[in-house]
Amino acid sequence: MKVMLGVSGGVDSSVAALLLKQQGHEVSGLFMQNWDEEDDGECRAEEDRKDALAVCGRLGIPFYSRNFAKTYWSEVFTYFLAEYKAGRTPNPDVLCNREIKFKTFLDEAKALGADKIATGHYAQVRERDGLFELVRGADAGKDQTYFLHQLGQTQLSTTLFPIGHLPKSEVRSLAAGAGFGTAAKKDSTGICFIGERDFRDFLSQYIPAKAGEIRSVDGQTVGEHAGVFYYTLGQREGLHIGGIKGRAAAPWFVVGKDIHRNILYVDQGIESQWLHSRSLRSETAHWVSGTAPAGTFRCTAKTRYRQQDVACQVQVLPDDSLEVLFDEPQRAVTPGQSLVLYENEICLGGAVIAETDAPMEIRLRQELTA
């Protein structure tokens, strides 16, 4: 087959290219630049592009480079900003996969004559009874189906995940054996367009900081925040709350954000009751197979990446949103993040979390409507 591989300049896509070549496919590599860097070059796109080019050159496969920054801005980054302005915590990597890597990139690959696309994600595709299933990567610690849950039958039927059956350690070993300079390259973390920059400084370029009160759940002012948009539920770092007379020395955690009054609410103790919820309501759900398993069903779920699966019951509502009841209370379930559902190793799909029954969230909703 003619396969267009998304090459990132990292070890994963490097080994994906190696394996595709060994399997006899006609492989090409396409480097996607999704962010136009400023002068500081924090995202190191040019360095990554050179690494990707070197791998393609070593394997003797064609190399292409495309700038998708304009599409990324309109389809991903504007959503990212809107969510933060609304007080939620978005996951742009999920949207980037859906809109850029498996839409814009897929269209470009087809225009260049590819039969299929491939990426270095730790995930697997399996066809069963005419349907394509999104299956967890063999390396549980690296599985990326959480970020891929918005893919559907069209994308999966034309996608290969060459390293999905391998542990990360073997991927690095194969890269070293092939003489790739990417063999020991550090894994990228976080959102590419932020890179190693301070997240708060980056976000303040687009959402101006507005200082306000940090209050305990009983209403006492215990500090000042730099901008309520910059914090997320469960966060401990960056609060700068010193010793307070009459309060224990236990650490403080963000438990709520009042966007309208610009107040950040905190409580002490990592297991604060104000952070726990038993149920959530989602936005419109996406199903990998195209349809929900049933109107009501049991499965497991993740409400954030790397979380252990938790058992739950899911009800599909008439507007295709979901109501989810967890068997056990969950900590810091965050509106704007993704709920991703699984049946054993199969990713069923998911949805953006709209609201939960966490005590502080209920209180703030009631105050808003009072």
Residues designated as active site: 96, 192
- Round to whole Å and give the CA distance between 2 and 21: 11
Residue with tokens 């149920």: 279
- Round to whole Å and give the CA distance between 342 and 177: 35
The answer to whether 136 touches 126, Cβ cutoff 8 Å, is: no
The answer to whether 100 touches 32, Cβ cutoff 8 Å, is: yes
- Round to whole Å and give the CA distance between 134 and 153: 9
Q: CA-CA-CA-CA torsion for 188, 194, 198, 202, nearest 10 degrees?
A: 180
**In angstroms, what CA-CA distances link 293 with 125, 287, 297?**
18, 9, 7
Beta-strand relationship, 159-160 and 276-282: unpaired
Beta-strand relationship, 116-118 and 159-160: parallel
Distance between start and end Cα atoms, the chain: 62
- Round to whole Å and give the CA distance between 13 and 51: 11
In the numeric block, which tokens belong to residue 199?
């997240």
**In angstroms, what CA-CA distances link 199 with 194, 205, 206, 335, 356?**
7, 10, 12, 19, 26
Question: Which of 315, 311, 324 lies closest to 297 in space, CA to CA?
Answer: 315
